[in-house]
């Protein structure tokens, strides 16, 4: 069962079933079961929407722990938000029957690979990328050393 820990070291288990899909749809107007809609993942990319969906899904656990939606949201940010997002996506994969499940797992795996590649790119070439972007943003021309005119 997918899970994540918040910044207060509370563990939350994320499962998805028809009752929970219905509860999220009724409370938030988001249909977690409609992959054809095409904007589900982009909507879940918004951290506020993601946390709202997660809270509705873990509501019984939050009630047991006496955690309000504000307290729940305050416990998520940075790496905990990434872990929570991954747990939700894994639960979403588990919710669907085959062959959708296999397809979604492949998409999730490819997403994890791309995220790792992006982190590696930032670590290896990030400084140069930042310098180039800053130069463009500030409209600075690179001046060659040894040339009084910059030519």
58 domain residue, yes or no: yes
Are 126 and 70 members of one domain?
no
What totals of helices (H) and strands (E) does the chain contain, helices first? 7, 2
Are 58 and 7 members of one domain?
yes
Count the neighbouring beta carbons within 10 Å of the beta carbon of residue 65: 14
- List, for residues 40-66, the tens digit of each pLDDT value: 888 888 999 999 999 999 999 999 999
- List, for residues 103-142, the tens digit of each pLDDT value: 888 877 887 788 778 778 888 887 887 888 888 888 765 5
Are 103 and 84 members of one domain?
no
128 domain residue, yes or no: yes
Are 58 and 126 members of one domain?
no
Q: How many domains does the chain have?
A: 2
Given 95, 110, 131, which residue is the final one in a domain? 95
Is residue 146's pLDDT more than 70? no
Structural contact between residues 82 and 50, judged by C-beta atoms closer than 8 angstroms: no
The set of long-range contacts for 25-32, using a CB threshold of 8 Å and a minimum separation of 24, is 27/56, 28/52, 28/53, 28/56, 32/92, 32/95
* pTM flag (> 0.75): no
Helix (H) or strand (E) holding 13: strand 11-13
Are 4 and 32 members of one domain?
yes
56 domain residue, yes or no: yes
Are 41 and 104 members of one domain?
no
149 domain residue, yes or no: no
63 domain residue, yes or no: yes
Q: Quote the domain boundaries for residue 28.
A: 1-95
Residue 91: closest CA among 105, 111, 76: 105
Are 32 and 88 members of one domain?
yes
- List, for residues 30-43, the tens digit of each pLDDT value: 999 887 756 888 88
Mean pLDDT of 78-92: 93
C-alpha pair distances (Å), 93 with each of 12, 26, 121: 17, 21, 28
As a whole number of angstroms, the distance between CA 8 and CA 39 comes to 31
150 domain residue, yes or no: no
Identify the residue with better confidence: 16 or 37: 16
Structural contact between residues 80 and 4, judged by C-beta atoms closer than 8 angstroms: yes
pLDDT of residue 150: 54
């Amino acid at each position: 069962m997918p899970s994540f820990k918040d910044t207060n070291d509370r563990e939350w288990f994320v499962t998805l079933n028809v009752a929970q899909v219905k509860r999220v749809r009724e409370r938030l107007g988001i249909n977690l079961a409609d992959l054809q809609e095409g904007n589900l993942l982009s909507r879940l990319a918004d951290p506020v929407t993601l946390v709202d969906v997660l809270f509705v899904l873990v509501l019984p656990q939050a009630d047991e722990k006496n955690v309000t939606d504000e307290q729940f949201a305050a416990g998520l940010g940075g790496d905990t938000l990434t872990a929570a997002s991954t747990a939700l996506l894994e639960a979403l994969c588990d919710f669907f029957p085959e062959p959708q499940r296999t397809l979604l797992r492949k998409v999730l795996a490819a997403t994890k690979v791309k995220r790792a590649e992006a982190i590696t790119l930032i670590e290896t070439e990030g400084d140069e990328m930042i310098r180039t972007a800053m130069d463009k943003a500030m409209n600075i021309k690179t001046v060659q050393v040894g040339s009084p005119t910059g030519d």
